[in-house]
Copies of this chain bind each other. A is one copy, B any other.
Amino acid sequence: MPYPITDLPAETWARLPTRQQEQALIEAAAARYGVGDPATLVAAPGTQALIQLLPRLVPKSRVAVLGPTYEEHAHCWTRQGHDVTVVSDFQPADVTIVVNPNNPTGKLLTPGMLSRDRGLLIVDEAFVDFLAPGASLASNLPTNTIVLRSFGKVYGLAGARLGFAIAEKTIADRIRDELGPWAVSGPALEIGRRALSDAAWLKASAARLMTDGVRLDTLLVSSGFEILGGTALFRLARHPEASSLIDKLGQHGIHVRRFAREPHWVRFGLPANDTEFSRVAAALA
């Protein structure tokens, strides 16, 4: 269920975004994420823009990506000429990248496991929002750490393109400089500010996702899937016939993620409404 967009002022479209509009967004995000110093928070046109940018801030490095995980991290660091290894556990490196909780497995590392000195640490917290606040590093940032937070996933507004980096001020300043002025659209600044300030909507959304998650689990288990993991927003499940079931789901208009190296895995996003639940059920029947 996307955050409702109502009565966007015409000037959010017509005018270049102002510093005040950006600052208002940053303050709402700082309050929402528990970030003490707004100067350590940077807004970007989507987390992907930050994933593209970070490999350019660092000289050629040995990069360890905890995986298997979301592939854009390894992809972008490799393209910028870094020496990238996907590792199953921490190992010495100049830069370590963790998606936490992990996508697609849902595996969650505690702040204590992350807060050890290992060179630069990048923690992509795209799916942390519906966990207890202590799961995020945002409010208590270890040194030499960059945290990424997603707006679009949490608020159902992936098309708006908005995400955040949280890092000590010198790193945050560099990210801001590289993004340049007016990086985030006027409408995204306005919608972001409203949504991030709206605790009631987030609470209601969390409750709904909990119910929908149980409903999806029930449906998947009764269809012969084993639930391997997930987060509030998706489930990773295994089925011996995964490949043909993915095709059937597609024919019913349900697009799930498949994994080349794990042919029995399927990642299901939470169906958005009853119609989508019915389609999933029909495809798996």
A49 to chain B: which residues have CB within 8 Å? Answer: 45, 180, 183
CB of A274 within 8 Å of the partner chain: no
Known contacts A13-B5, A156-B14; decide if A161 and B182 are in contact (CB<8 Å): yes
In the complex, residue of chain B having the shortest beta-carbon distance to the beta carbon of A75: B180
The residue that A14 contacts in the complex, of B45, B159, B181, with Cβ under 8 A, is B159
**Oligomeric state, in copies:** 2
Chain B nearest CB from A148 CB (Å) reads 14
Contact in complex: A180, B56 (CB < 8 Å): no
A46 to chain B: which residues have CB within 8 Å? Answer: 182-183
Contact in complex: B2, A10 (CB < 8 Å): yes
CB of A160 within 8 Å of the partner chain: yes
CB of A17 within 8 Å of the partner chain: yes
CB of A157 within 8 Å of the partner chain: yes
Mask, A166-195, CB within 8 Å of B = 1, is: 000000000001111111111110010000
Chain B nearest CB from A43 CB (Å) reads 12
A115 to chain B: which residues have CB within 8 Å? Answer: none
CB of A16 within 8 Å of the partner chain: yes
Tell me the complex Cα distance, A214–B177, Å: 39
Mask, A47-81, CB within 8 Å of B = 1, is: 01101100010000000000000001000100100
Contact in complex: A177, B13 (CB < 8 Å): no
Contact in complex: B13, A180 (CB < 8 Å): no
A5 to chain B: which residues have CB within 8 Å? Answer: 13
Chain B nearest CB from A204 CB (Å) reads 17
CB of A12 within 8 Å of the partner chain: yes
CB of A89 within 8 Å of the partner chain: no
A160 to chain B: which residues have CB within 8 Å? Answer: 13, 185-187
Tell me the complex Cα distance, A46–B17, Å: 12
Contacts from A to B (Cβ < 8 Å)? 2, 5, 10-17, 45-46, 48-49, 51-52, 56, 72, 76, 79, 152, 156-161, 177-188, 191
Known: A13-B159, A16-B159, A45-B183. 19 other contacts (CB 8 A): A2-B10, A2-B13, A11-B159, A13-B157, A14-B156, A14-B159, A15-B158, A17-B159, A45-B185, A49-B180, A49-B183, A51-B180, A72-B180, A72-B181, A79-B177, A159-B186, A159-B187, A161-B185, A185-B187
